[in-house]
Structure 1
């Protein structure tokens, strides 16, 4: 049974030495504080303190996943493993931030780090994973506060079919298609959606 839990409580900036160097009530507030302190975005990560049975830390990596899954939950969309991979890839590109390292793979960009983080969320009971028609799907089991910046970017893509996302990614990021096993199929998608 799904519980209605407010996950986010406090945002913390962590420097390269894993020291807390700023805190605030929003992602944007922490970024502004760090900018004033002279930090570049690549020099720190943002952690989010959350509530549950006990306090846990959710990193910027988890914030992007939870925002996308919460947006899907609100729109009553169930996301496949592949669609989550493509959504996170596109959102990262648009944000200019690399939370997860992506490499070219069978269906375009793939991140083993993202797959591992999803598995951790499943093991912690935050996300439910189930199989249907030989594919894995994921659903958020609790209500999560969304990162506004991630939400704005993800909102553009979340309702689009996987075929559209693949057509778009293959057109914009051909370097991520080197090992693809579906190039010909994606060309058909590109024609269908008029994406060249």
Structure 2
């Protein structure tokens, strides 16, 4: 069984993002599609760096790619979390991609790493997830490209 000490910083940020609650109840433990997950982690990287002077990063190194910021390590970390039984990808409608969700053990671990953040960081992470990550993909990509034009230079997406 994995403990939080066994997790990379990248894996912890994936779990935090998946767990981040959208209301006062338990975490909202799903994200529809890998595109939303990648862009959400990118937004955490940039927005936390702007807001929290002591933020040391998510561990990802995003580069401009076909649909904006991308780091293969997101997929590798997601696969590692799946192998550990913390995350699963559930097929849904092809337009949305697979639903990425925490397992019951993943929810417990996600809550633990989420609760390790300061209150203002938890609040900001939940806000990023609700305001941007859970929006339609076209709206999310448009926001990312307009706010961070350096990440749009190699895009194949022309809807922004």
The answer, yes or no, to whether TM exceeds 0.5 is yes
Q: TM-score range by the shorter chain?
A: 0.7 to 0.9
Between the two proteins, the alignment pairs up a number of residues equal to 134
Residues 157-168 of structure 1: matches in 2 within 5 Å? 157-160=128-131, 161=135, 162-168=137-143
Deviation digits for residues 15-72 of structure 1, max 9, x if unmatched? Answer: xxxxxxxxxxxxxxxxxxxxxxxxxxxxxxxxx42xxxxxxx1122121111111126
TM-score of the superposition, structure 2-length normalised? Answer: 0.73
Determine the structure 2 residue equivalent to 1:60. Answer: 9
Is the contact made by 2:18 and 2:102 (CA closer than 8 Å) also made in structure 1? Answer: yes
1:165 positional shift: 2.4
1:173 positional shift: 1.1
TM-score of the superposition, structure 1-length normalised? Answer: 0.60
Query: Secondary structure of 1:139's match?
Result: strand
Distance across 2 between alignment mates of 1:63 and 1:82: 18
Query: Secondary structure of 1:74's match?
Result: coil
Q: Which runs of 5+ in 1 are unaligned?
A: 9-47, 50-56, 188-196
Determine the structure 2 residue equivalent to 1:137. Answer: 99
Change (3 A) 1:60 1:152: farther
Query: Secondary structure of 1:86's match?
Result: helix
Considering Cα pairs closer than 8 Å and 6+ residues apart, tell me whether 1 or 2 has the greater RCO: 2
Residue number among 30, 37, 47 corresponding to 1:84 in the alignment: 37
Is the contact made by 1:103 and 1:110 (CA closer than 8 Å) also made in structure 2? Answer: yes
* Runs of 4+ with >6 A deviation: none
Determine the structure 2 residue equivalent to 1:123. Answer: 83
Distance across 2 between alignment mates of 1:151 and 1:181: 33
Determine the structure 2 residue equivalent to 1:148. Answer: 117
Change (3 A) 1:77 1:130: closer
